[in-house]
């Protein structure tokens, strides 16, 4: 009797807690994932052992956990979407997912989530997919520790690394993405966090988001992407402690901000970009405690930006610290450190006693006449710059830092 009750209890709990456990592999009874999915019920676990699985599209329509043992390979043979998730509470980890089909009409992905919630995609390797991870109407999903490699050459031939569309409450953590069109793409995604990802050498943007309000980007690294990071038509974005480096090329930016408002950009590092931060139609943005170092242009701030606060940043080793395209100045630039500042500090309050004009005349000239870069740093141009610093005539006089720092901040 005692044995019987304990057996009942065991059955009960095992069912609730983990469900059945199905093994898939060449040495097991079930040899295909499709067959295992037919056998499985909600909350079951399927362990897939190492082998090559070419089963077309694997449709996961039950709430199960799929675990790869010793990196089983799911191959889409460049024809099919590899995994389609059409159930809530699905968990996928430990797979190598590669060679998804390429199609512009239905956007096949390595893993694609259709209108579902609580999906976990963790510790997978994605190789040579059109879209690696595609979340469509997803909610509360976790994408963590995936390694995503694409081999795209042209923008139109490849999709994005992590593509999220009309989703909410996503957590995208510690993924490594390279070689896709956009590393991470957000469109109409809200209340989400992108944390500790590394997005390198993507063809277009390392991170691209549009119409995605209330998101946070923290501790990510964006490097050598074709055009850096683009942020467009969005409100209430926070970007903390990211590193943007080596976005080089015409129209390549560390961050491109277009029609953004109420954002916070704090503690980021911009290193060796052609233009570190480009603002167009950006309002009420706080840019604070960032490092701008070794860039062609530190800030390119268009005259249609207003009420932005640029404060406590370090500008050093940039060819031009700031450039703009008009004479209207509706932003403040106080309390920054500029390595080109040549003023003095008699009252020893660590702030320069004369205001600094960060806008160099030649950056204004180059804005209108880019080929003039040929003469940069020549004697005649230095003369022009000196004269303009003494008697501002072309550059707006109120474009200035009233309290430039004498020493750089420790950032």
Partner 1 sequence: MNKITNFIITDIIKNKIIIIYTVILALFSWSVLSLEDNTAKAMLSLLNIILLAVPLMAVIFSTIYMYNSSEFIELLVSQPIKRKTIWLSHFAGLSISLSIAFILGIGLPIVVYSPDAAGFSILLMGLFITPIFIAIAMLCSILARDKARGIGIAIMVWLFLSLIYDGIVLYLMFQFADYPIEKPMVIMSALNPIDLARIMVLLKVDVSALMGYTGAIFKQIFGSQIGWIISLGLLTFWIVIPMWFSLIKFKNKDL
Site for partner 1 in 336-395 (CB under 8 A): 339, 368-382
Task: Specify the pairing of strand 269-271 against strand 83-85.
Answer: unpaired
The least CB distance from residue 135 to partner 1, in Å, is: 34
One of 252, 256, 285, 305 touching partner 1 (CB under 8 A): 252
Q: Based on the number of CB atoms within 10 Å of its own CB, is 43 exposed (0-12), middle (13-18) or buried (19 or more)?
A: middle
Stretch that binds partner 1, among 175-183, 193-201, 224-232, 294-302 (CB under 8 A): 294-302
Neighbours of 335 (CB within 10 A): 18
Stretch that binds partner 1, among 30-38, 153-161, 293-301, 353-361 (CB under 8 A): 293-301
Stretch that binds partner 1, among 151-159, 170-178, 213-221, 270-278 (CB under 8 A): 270-278
Stretch that binds partner 1, among 33-41, 51-59, 311-319, 389-397 (CB under 8 A): 311-319
8 Å CB contact between 398 and 405: no
- Choose between 194 and 365: whose C-beta lies nearer to partner 1: 365
243 is a contact residue toward partner 1 (CB under 8 A): no
Site track for partner 1 across 9-38, x = CB under 8 A: ------------------------------
The least CB distance from residue 357 to partner 1, in Å, is: 18
Structure tokens at 121: 């995609």
Site for partner 1 in 199-228 (CB under 8 A): none
8 Å CB contact between 225 and 251: no
8 Å CB contact between 107 and 165: no
Stretch that binds partner 1, among 19-27, 112-120, 219-227, 312-320 (CB under 8 A): 312-320
320 is a contact residue toward partner 1 (CB under 8 A): yes
One of 113, 275, 299, 305 touching partner 1 (CB under 8 A): 275
- Choose between 106 and 369: whose C-beta lies nearer to partner 1: 369
The least CB distance from residue 219 to partner 1, in Å, is: 23
* Angle of the 361-368 helix axis to the 379-390 helix axis, nearest 10: 120
Stretch that binds partner 1, among 33-41, 169-177, 218-226, 290-298 (CB under 8 A): 290-298
Give the 3-state DSSP-derived string for 10-33, with helices as H, strands as E and coil as C: HHHHHHHHCCCEEEECCCCCECCH
Neighbours of 23 (CB within 10 A): 15
One of 63, 124, 199, 273 touching partner 1 (CB under 8 A): 273
How open is the CA angle 316-183-132, to the nearest 5 degrees?
A: 165
319 is a contact residue toward partner 1 (CB under 8 A): yes
Sorted by sequence, the CB contacts under 8 Å of residue 161 that are 6+ apart come out as 126, 131, 132, 133, 148, 150, 175, 177, 178, 180, 182, 183, 184, 185, 199, 202
8 Å CB contact between 50 and 23: no
The least CB distance from residue 203 to partner 1, in Å, is: 16
Structure tokens at 86: 């059409």
Stretch that binds partner 1, among 64-72, 136-144, 149-157, 271-279 (CB under 8 A): 271-279
Binding-residue total with partner 1 (CB under 8 A): 32
8 Å CB contact between 62 and 33: no
136 is a contact residue toward partner 1 (CB under 8 A): no
- Choose between 32 and 319: whose C-beta lies nearer to partner 1: 319
> Cα separations (Å) of 136 from 7, 111, 119, 188?
43, 11, 12, 10
250 is a contact residue toward partner 1 (CB under 8 A): yes
Q: Which parts of this chain interact with partner 1 (CB under 8 A)?
A: 248-250, 252, 272-275, 294-297, 316-317, 319-320, 339, 368-382
């Amino acid at each position: 009797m005692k044995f019987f009750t304990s057996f009942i209890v065991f059955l009960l709990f095992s069912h609730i807690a983990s469900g059945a456990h199905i093994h898939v592999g060449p040495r097991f009874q079930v040899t295909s994932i499709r067959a295992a999915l037919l056998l499985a019920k909600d909350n079951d676990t399927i362990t897939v052992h190492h082998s090559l699985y070419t089963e077309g599209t694997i449709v996961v329509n039950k709430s199960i956990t799929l675990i790869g043992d010793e990196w089983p390979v799911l191959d889409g043979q460049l024809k099919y979407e590899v995994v389609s998730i059409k159930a809530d509470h699905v968990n996928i980890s430990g797979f190598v997912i590669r060679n998804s089909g390429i199609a512009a009409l239905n956007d096949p992905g390595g893993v694609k989530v259709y209108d579902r919630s609580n999906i976990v995609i963790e510790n997978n390797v994605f190789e040579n997919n059109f879209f690696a991870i595609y979340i469509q109407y997803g909610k509360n999903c976790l994408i963590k520790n995936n390694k995503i490699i694409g081999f795209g050459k042209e923008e139109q031939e490849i999709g994005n690394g992590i593509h999220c569309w009309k989703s909410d409450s996503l957590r995208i953590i510690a993924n490594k993405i390279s070689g896709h069109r956009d590393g991470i793409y957000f469109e109409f995604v809200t209340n989400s966090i992108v944390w500790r990802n590394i997005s390198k050498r993507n063809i277009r943007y390392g991170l691209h988001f549009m119409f995605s309000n209330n998101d946070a980007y923290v501790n990510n690294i964006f490097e050598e992407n074709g055009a850096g990071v683009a942020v467009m038509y969005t409100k209430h974005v926070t970007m903390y402690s990211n590193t943007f480096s080596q976005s080089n090329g015409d129209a390549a930016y560390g961050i491109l901000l277009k029609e953004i408002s109420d954002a916070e950009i704090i503690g980021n590092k911009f290193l060796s970009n052609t233009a570190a931060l480009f603002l167009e139609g950006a309002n009420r943005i706080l840019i604070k405690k960032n490092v701008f170092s070794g860039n062609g242009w530190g800030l390119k701030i268009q005259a249609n930006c207003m009420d932005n606060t640029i404060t406590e940043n370090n500008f050093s080793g940039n060819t031009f610290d700031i450039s703009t395209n008009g004479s209207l100045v509706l932003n403040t630039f106080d309390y920054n450190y500029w390595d080109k500042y040549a003023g003095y500090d008699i009252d020893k309050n660590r702030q320069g006693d004369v205001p600094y004009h960060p806008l160099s005349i030649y950056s204004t000239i180059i804005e209108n006449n880019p080929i003039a870069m040929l003469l940069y740093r020549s004697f005649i141009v230095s003369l022009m710059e000196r004269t303009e610093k003494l008697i501002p005539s072309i550059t707006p006089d109120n474009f200035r830092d009233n309290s430039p720092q004498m020493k750089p901040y420790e950032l």
